[in-house]
Every structure is written in C-alpha cells, then in structure tokens.
Structure 1
C-alpha cells in the first residue's frame, strides 16, 4: 500500500481519482458562436500527417506533475447591466457598445470612464474580436494597452477553459520589455477583469522569485504579463507551460529589438502553440524592416493598424526648445522648476550617469527628486513611482528605457535635459504628459552636443519647433543650501 500511495502521489492522483492524460495537454474548447461577426473562429487542428512531420523547435520543460489541480474559481455575481452604461452614438466616434462586449467587461470599462474608443482601439478591435492577428503601430498614450486587453478578455470569456488544467498554464501571454511596463499592463488588466473571474499575474525580474512562484501555485493563471528573462526562468524550471496559450501579445517590439531580447522571445514563442493555432498581436512604435520581419514570422495574415505619431505628439502637448550651453543646462532646469513651483515633472537624460548626477544635484539644492534607471532595483522603483504619484516626489529623472512604461496622471511638464538620439524616443518622452486628451508641456534643452537631433525630431512630429533663448532670469546661479 505504501508503494501504491507513493506512485499515486508521484503522478498527482489522490485515492479514488481517475487517471488523467497529463502528457496530452487539453486544448481550449471552442465556444458557441451566436454572432460570427465578433467571435473568434475556432482554429482547425493540423492534419495528423502535418503534425507528424512538423519540426520540433524546442523541448518542453517537464511538467510538475505533483502539483494538484484545483477547482476553477467561481465567477463573481454581477448585477450590473448595460442600462447602467448609456452612451449616445456620436459622429466619427466608436463606442464600446458597438462591439457587443460581455457585460462583465463593459462594467469595468464603465468604471474606468471610457465611453468611446480611441482610434487604435476602434481599428484593432474591429479585427481582433473576429479572431484575426494584428500588427499595430502606435505611440504610448494612444490606448493600445486597453485595445489588446479587451481583445484578450473577450476571447477568454467566449472560450471556456479546459476541464483538465494545471496551475502555471496561462491562456493569454503578454510580453513587454521593461518591468515598469509589465507592472502597468498587469494593473490595467486587473482593472478590466475585476468582474470576470479571470486571474492576472505578472512576472518581472528584480522581485522575489519565491513570492511570484507561491502566487502561481495558489490559483489558475488566465492572463500572464511578463518580461522575457523572468518568464524564461519560470518556463525552464518547469513552473510555467505555454502550450495552452490562445492569445499572445508582443508589446513594444521595437524596444525589445533595441534591448537585445529577441533571442529570448524566440525561445518563448517556440513553447506556445503554432501561429495557426493561436492569435498573435504585435505592437511597435515604429515599423522598421526588422520589426516587420518578426511580424511575418510570428503572425498569420495580420491586419495592419497605424496611428500616426504626430496625432499624439502635437495636438495635446505644447513643445518648446531652449538653445543653451551644456554648462548652463542644470541652472536652467533648477530655475524652471523652482521659479514656476512645478510639482510633478519628468526629466529625461540619455545616460544613467547623467540621470544620477541630475537627481543628486536637485536633491542637494532642496528639490525632492528621485531617479529611475536600470541601476535602480525593482522594489525601489515601485516605491519611487508611488511617491511620484502621491506628490511626495516633485521630479522624476529617468532614462528612456526606464521611462518607457511609466504611466502617471497629471504630469504637467516633461523636460528633455538631453535630446534623444532616436526621434521616436522624443515622442515617447513627451507622451508622458498631455495624456487622455489633457494638455501638457515639453521643454527640450538643445546644446552643442545634441542639437543635431532636432531636425529628425521635427521631421517625425511633422512640424517646426521654434528654438528660443532662455531669459536671463532662468540662467541665474543656483542658490546653495547650507
């Protein structure tokens, strides 16, 4: 009896439980399709001959079979109805009502105060809710995150999860290049799923591995948001299996290329179902040749949606450029913030050492500031962001990589201490302000070392940005604190 119990424990079966086919992971069950225009079409299985001849791209890590299956969490009761969310049709605008989304999802959208879709949401959802792959070009602040989250949630609500399912088998996977962006996407996903019963998890480096593992073992994972490196850690240890992924999203593909993450992303994608059996959405701020080659490899007949960057950069953000010597840049920065009593400002610099020096000088001179760069550990980043959101920190100094995923409301000013070498980074920087239709101001310092970048920026945003000399009052010496 002791040997029998040990064998049952090894294969994850309690006494009296019927054996289950662990080696053949169950595939998602196709939902009933009352409205063919909006439901994701069932993907036909590959023929046996094709499957037999398909190349083996990578070995799947061994599944942890001693982990018990748990009963699915019951869906919360939602007495809210669409009558509580009335939005009148408006010319030139698309309502979320026009897509016949699930009431539980519409309830969350109502709570967030989004009656009409942004342009990229309207265009993307028109394709993805029918099950089509999509490639989207859009800058930050356009609403692209909500576009792919709404598509994911709709798919998961329409398709019941398989009855036989292990922990650590996400049904939707979102890969993003930075920890801040993962945290923000996961937060948005939690807001949109709060009435659906779907579980959202996030895996990022720099945070306690065991805590993330404990969360993974406590409940099913429906939507997983992760950076490539940490996701591979879990996958290679056999804690996460990607063979049930129905929808995969690659966000900021251009940034993942720049940061050298594509080999890791390839490893991850090899663990998911073939592209003909999953829906793939790819978003990028730019459509370079490299990005389009990746899209061709990983998507099937995708819809291409493009939102012009000038629509983001020029309409809601007032842009200024000051011609200033490099030795005067800090004086100009200090006086702008101190004399105008600005309370929520983001300052961008190109290098981590510049970020550190600026933050140290502001702190020394009596302005509460914090830095955000790759050198700052994750637990401190989260604490810094909370302090910035709550107004305890007036100035956040960041590099482009660290600042890409920061979404903080009511940032009044963005200051480019140094102009970025890549014009696309300029658009991402100033997109931190003027969000969701509100107005904002960006001020760039053009010195002898970086003024050459200005023509490329003007070409991208489609307008001339007047270059002016700062008034003498903004260049007076910084008073030293004793």
Structure 2
C-alpha cells in the first residue's frame, strides 16, 4: 500500500531534498506599522495572497508583547542523557534547540515513537508530510516539534500584526483542540512562543481578548470557530508558515471539509507553506484531499503491531437492550470501579445514561456536542482528578480525551464503524498499563460485531452475564 501511495504522489524511495523555508525579515521590537502602512507594504512572501483593502485596514496596530521565555534554571543538554539503543530513535538524533529539548526532557520522553521518528526525518527539513497512525501513538508531539523548530529557526516578520498566526493546527473536536494546545504549551514553555486555542462553546469575547493581548505564534482551532474569527477580520491567515490538519478522516465524517477549504484559501499557496496531514485511515477521499493541499508529501504509515493493544482485555456480553443499564450499574458498583469510560452512539443515549447513573448514586458526567465547552472542560478535569467515577461520551466527543489510569471502557452500544471500536478501547491500557473493555451486544447492535472481529483479526468470545450482574437497580429514597 505504501508503494502505491508513493506512486500516486510521484514519489520514489531515494534521498529526499530539503525544502526551503519561506524567507522572512528579522524581528524588530521598535517598529510597528500603522494600518495605512500595512495597506501599502509589500507582502512578506512574493506570492502570498494579497489582502483586500477592508481586511487590511482591520488589522489593528498593537504594541509588541512577546511572551518571555521561561528561565531554564541552568539546565544543560548534558542533563538529558539518553543512551543509543538498537531500533530506537532519540530526540538527540535530530537538530532540536536546547529550549525544546529541555521541555521534552521535562515530559520524560527519551525515545521517539515510530510515528515521531518517521515524520520528523522529513518535516524538520521543511517537507510536507502525510502521516497515518492511531490515536495515542505520539503524532501530536511529532507535528508540534516540527512547528516549534520551524518557528525558532525562522525569525518572525519585521512588520507583524495581532491576529496573524505563524502556525495553524485544525482539529475536528473541541476536546482534541484543548489537548493539542495543552501539549503545545508544555513543549513551548522555554521558547517564548505563544499558543492560543479557539473552540466553539466558549466565550467569544474572552478568546478575542486573548488574541488582542499578544502575538499568536501557534493557533489551534476547530474549523467553525476559526472561520468566525476570520470572517470578522480578527484573524488573518496570510502569514501561516506551517499548517496541520489533524484527524482528516474524522473531519470528513463530520462534514467539516467545506469549512476547511474556506480556511485553506486564506493561507499562502501550498508551495509557500509547509502542510502536514494526519489521519487514522487513508481512504481515497483523504488521499484526494492530501493531493490538493500538499506538495510532494512524504508518506509515513505506521502499522500498529496489533490493531488493538495486547494490554487491553476484551469481553463481550450478550444482553437484551432492556437489561443494559442494569448490567452497567452492577458492573460499576459491585466491582467498585472508580474510573470508567462509557461509550454510546447517540447524544440522547449519553444524556440518559449519565442522568440515570447520577440519580442512582454513581457520580457521572457526559461528554457530547450538546454540553457547553466550559462544562466539558470542568467535567474532564473532575474525571481526570478522580472526583467523578464515570464519563459517558459519544465517539466524536471521545476523540482527544487523554486521561491516564482509565481502568475500564464499556461500550454500552457497539459502534457502527469498526475503527471507532479500536479508538474507544484505546482509552484504556495506555502507556503499557493494563485495561479492560466490555461491550454490550444487544438485539439492535450485535450485527456490528463480525466487522469488528474482522478488523481485529480474531474472534471475541461472547458471554452471558452472570445473574448477579442483572439484579434490579435498588431504588434510592
């Protein structure tokens, strides 16, 4: 498949030429142009899209307020010792700045994951890239390290305006945007680079004040909210040097591609920006989009050793739909489980499950598109801190949730797409720890099991739940 993809993009397997980064002028802290200056100045790139007069005039003159780099406390690269190991790639093997290496050291990452090792070899030289890897494989750090290195090596433009990000990351869900922005903040903490996030469901004015307070180096956003800012003239994308599209397959499924097209039209031409695209699957639609938006991309495919991790013990209970809630309640309470993630296919199912668990004395929160963003963030933090026992989520909301020590994943309803099953159970058994997934196969969703088993390459034994797990839920007074 890899050879076919390379052929599709006209690629060979020989040494790859280094791409040329867009040339920009050195930064100046003393001069900020007026709006009228901006209207008459030459664009930073010879062929960059020219802003119209109305858009140009809306770019307000702001004082330079760079975030100071965090003090490194006499940290030296020699403090980050990692011995070479056969079959492993170290971050030391790439030319990364001491500030970035310090942050990687703080995070405890001595060796690259396969997707990081595969992608960075191309992207650090400026190449476009398409990466296929499952959630939890380290792809976020792969593109963030590349972005940070690009922004450190290329000085910001001399004439710079608020609302002009130098790097743009588009992700399909609010939770994923929040997680990427958090990872970006951790990796940039010694560099002085500013990270911002724009998501729907949060106060627009608060996000606008953030944008007006300092320059934006790395912007992480969902497509809809980014377009809101762009169409109001608050964000301008003509200075984007690096663009990342994360979970492209999910953006296709969620119908975001028309919005993404509008966004990309505001950025410099593909030959004048670096574009990185990541997807869990390489469908024809995904590859067609990649062909439109990238230039001679390197294609990096990481096949998981197993589609589902060996650290996750998988069970399926054959149960009538009317008994599913009893089974869920009894599994959690009789076993005294404290950190459980429950998946359902529809938002109304998620809401009903959460309401019934809460009514029956089990602390629970729901994660779906109907929940306001500030409540979702609070719910996620409560679950992460162990104050809440159960999180009930849809597949879309579940993407981007990274919580350590989730002991059990329960599929209240089997997903209609086999790939979603892999993503769901991947919430547990992370970083080498063990976990358990339990799926309820009822009369309405058991048909999905054969396709899941085909993807896994093995059968999952279907069991009848013991009688004690089907006891009536006690009434609370």
TM-score of the pair, normalised by structure 1: 0.88
- SS for the counterpart of 1:463 is coil
Q: Indicate if the aligned counterparts of 2:32 and 2:62 stay in contact, CA closer than 8 A.
A: no
2:279 corresponds in structure 1 to 284
Deviation by residue 1:336-379 (Cα, 9 ceiling, x = unmatched): 11111110000000011111111111111111111111111111
- SS for the counterpart of 1:313 is coil
- SS for the counterpart of 1:473 is helix
Match among 326, 334, 351 for residue 346 of structure 2 = 351
Q: Indicate if the aligned counterparts of 2:168 and 2:243 stay in contact, CA closer than 8 A.
A: yes
1:27 corresponds in structure 2 to 44
Shift of 1:21: 4.4
2:27 corresponds in structure 1 to none
Match among 140, 149, 156 for residue 145 of structure 1 = 140
Counterpart Cα distance in 1 of 2:332 and 2:42: 58
Q: Indicate if the aligned counterparts of 2:246 and 2:277 stay in contact, CA closer than 8 A.
A: yes
Counterpart Cα distance in 1 of 2:304 and 2:31: 57
Answering whether residue 296 of structure 2 is matched by residue 296 of structure 1, we say: no
Counterpart Cα distance in 1 of 2:318 and 2:52: 54
Shift of 1:146: 0.7
1:306 corresponds in structure 2 to 301
Gaps of 5+ in 2: 1-29
Counterpart Cα distance in 2 of 1:422 and 1:236: 35
Q: Indicate if the aligned counterparts of 1:310 and 1:461 stay in contact, CA closer than 8 A.
A: no
How many residues align structurally? 447
Gaps of 5+ in 1: 1-12, 29-44
Shift of 1:283: 0.8
Shift of 1:25: 6.0
Q: 1:229 to 1:286 in 2, by over 3 A?
A: same
Counterpart Cα distance in 1 of 2:451 and 2:32: 69
Answering whether residue 410 of structure 2 is matched by residue 412 of structure 1, we say: no
Q: Indicate if the aligned counterparts of 1:185 and 1:225 stay in contact, CA closer than 8 A.
A: yes
1:198 corresponds in structure 2 to 193
2:12 corresponds in structure 1 to none
Counterpart Cα distance in 2 of 1:328 and 1:194: 50
Residue range with higher mean Cα deviation, 196-205 or 397-406: 397-406
Q: Indicate if the aligned counterparts of 1:60 and 1:271 stay in contact, CA closer than 8 A.
A: no
Structure 2 counterparts to residues 64-79 of structure 1, below 5 A: 64-70=58-64, 72-78=66-72, 79=74
Counterpart Cα distance in 2 of 1:112 and 1:291: 32
Shift of 1:464: 2.1
- SS for the counterpart of 1:61 is helix
1:117 corresponds in structure 2 to 112
TM-score of the pair, normalised by structure 2: 0.89
Structure 2 counterparts to residues 18-97 of structure 1, below 5 A: 20-24=37-41, 26-27=43-44, 61-70=55-64, 72-78=66-72, 79-97=74-92
Counterpart Cα distance in 2 of 1:192 and 1:366: 40
Q: Indicate if the aligned counterparts of 2:180 and 2:220 stay in contact, CA closer than 8 A.
A: yes
Counterpart Cα distance in 2 of 1:400 and 1:24: 47
Deviation by residue 1:292-333 (Cα, 9 ceiling, x = unmatched): 110010011111112235635232222111111111111111
1:478 corresponds in structure 2 to 473
2:398 corresponds in structure 1 to 403
Match among 244, 252, 267 for residue 249 of structure 1 = 244
Counterpart Cα distance in 1 of 2:269 and 2:167: 14
Q: 1:396 to 1:124 in 2, by over 3 A?
A: same
Deviation by residue 1:177-209 (Cα, 9 ceiling, x = unmatched): 111111110000000000000000000111111
Counterpart Cα distance in 2 of 1:391 and 1:425: 25
Q: 1:424 to 1:68 in 2, by over 3 A?
A: same
Counterpart Cα distance in 2 of 1:475 and 1:397: 20
Answering whether residue 255 of structure 2 is matched by residue 260 of structure 1, we say: yes
Considering only aligned residues, what root-mean-square deviation do their CA atoms show, in Å? 2.3
Deviation by residue 1:123-150 (Cα, 9 ceiling, x = unmatched): 1111111111111111111111111111
Residue range with higher mean Cα deviation, 374-383 or 314-323: 314-323
1:6 corresponds in structure 2 to none
Deviation by residue 1:95-130 (Cα, 9 ceiling, x = unmatched): 111112111001011111111111111111111111
Residue range with higher mean Cα deviation, 254-263 or 471-480: 471-480
1:374 corresponds in structure 2 to 369
Q: 1:60 to 1:178 in 2, by over 3 A?
A: farther
Shift of 1:64: 2.1
Answering whether residue 153 of structure 2 is matched by residue 130 of structure 1, we say: no
1:174 corresponds in structure 2 to 169
Counterpart Cα distance in 2 of 1:15 and 1:415: 55
Q: Indicate if the aligned counterparts of 2:318 and 2:464 stay in contact, CA closer than 8 A.
A: yes
Answering whether residue 381 of structure 2 is matched by residue 386 of structure 1, we say: yes
Residue range with higher mean Cα deviation, 401-410 or 198-207: 401-410
Structure 2 counterparts to residues 93-104 of structure 1, below 5 A: 93-104=88-99
Shift of 1:451: 1.1
Match among 196, 201, 207 for residue 202 of structure 2 = 207
Q: 1:14 to 1:193 in 2, by over 3 A?
A: closer
Q: Indicate if the aligned counterparts of 1:57 and 1:270 stay in contact, CA closer than 8 A.
A: no
